[in-house]
A and B are shown apart, each in its own frame.
Chain A
Amino acid sequence: KQEVTQIPAALSVPEGENLVLNCSFTDSAIYNLQWFRQDPGKGLTSLLLIQSSQREQTSGRLNASLDKSSGRSTLYIAASQPGDSATYLCAASMEYGNKLVFGAGTILRVKS
């Protein structure tokens, strides 16, 4: 049974700092891994999707990496801004695109 863990559970940083969020999964036979952002009381916004054959994906100030052999993914946020404050979720898809198994999330607060 796949389990997804995210550390830290919460993170508070000053504006402008670069930061890394970590995600680990127990079963390396994933099909893809997605990073999402969730704002309080809102839905999920997909940030990046990494296929199992890929090592990383980039979008603007965001870079996500995937290391299947070690069961890890990281989300790197460059030059953080107060608007980046949200809960960040990673989710692994185990089979040929199917249900997502979510981590508990990292609550990020960027202070101005």
Chain B
Amino acid sequence: NAGVMQNPRHLVRRRGQEARLRCSPMKGHSHVYWYRQLPEEGLKFMVYLQKENIIDESGMPKERFSAEFPKEGPSILRIQQVVRGDSAAYFCASSPSREGTQYFGPGTRLLVL
């Protein structure tokens, strides 16, 4: 059973461009979480999704950020008009149930120039 997969592993964008981060959960997992790790800071929750539904987006910045988890395909975290402060490692985790262990992917490291 392959682990949580994220791509790309590294992403470089210029200010104002869009960034799309993808997360494929483990097989059989329908719960996906996104976290962000800013330089020199701890991991912070962003959003929790279950197939086709956003369950909790209390950690998402109000503007420019959106997430989806369609019926088919990976979960997508989208950042529009990126700014330098968006540079961070973005981690996705999946779980088979709402109360189960969260398994993390390797992360996508976003650098905004």
Closest to B91 in A: A43
Which of B44-73 touch A at CB < 8 Å? 44-45, 48, 55-56, 58-59
Which of B91-113 touch A at CB < 8 Å? 91, 93, 95, 97-107, 109
Cα–Cα, bound, A23→B95 (Å) = 23
State how many angstroms separate the Cβ of B88 from the closest Cβ of chain A: 13
* B101 partner residues in chain A, CB cutoff 8 A: 34, 46, 49
Cα–Cα, bound, A104→B97 (Å) = 26
Whether the Cβ atoms of B43 and A89 lie closer than 8 Å is: yes
Known: A98-B56, A99-B56, A105-B42. Is A46-B99 also a contact (CB below 8 A)?
no
Whether the Cβ atoms of B42 and A99 lie closer than 8 Å is: no
Which of A44-96 touch B at CB < 8 Å? 44-46, 49, 89, 91, 93, 96
A contact residues vs B (CB 8 Å cutoff): 31-32, 34, 36, 41-46, 49, 89, 91, 93, 96-105
Query: Could you give 29 example pairs across A and B, Cβ below 8 Å?
Result: A31-B99, A42-B106, A42-B107, A43-B106, A44-B91, A44-B104, A46-B101, A46-B103, A46-B104, A49-B101, A89-B43, A91-B43, A93-B99, A96-B98, A97-B95, A97-B98, A97-B99, A98-B48, A98-B98, A99-B33, A99-B48, A99-B56, A99-B59, A100-B35, A100-B45, A102-B35, A102-B43, A104-B41, A105-B42
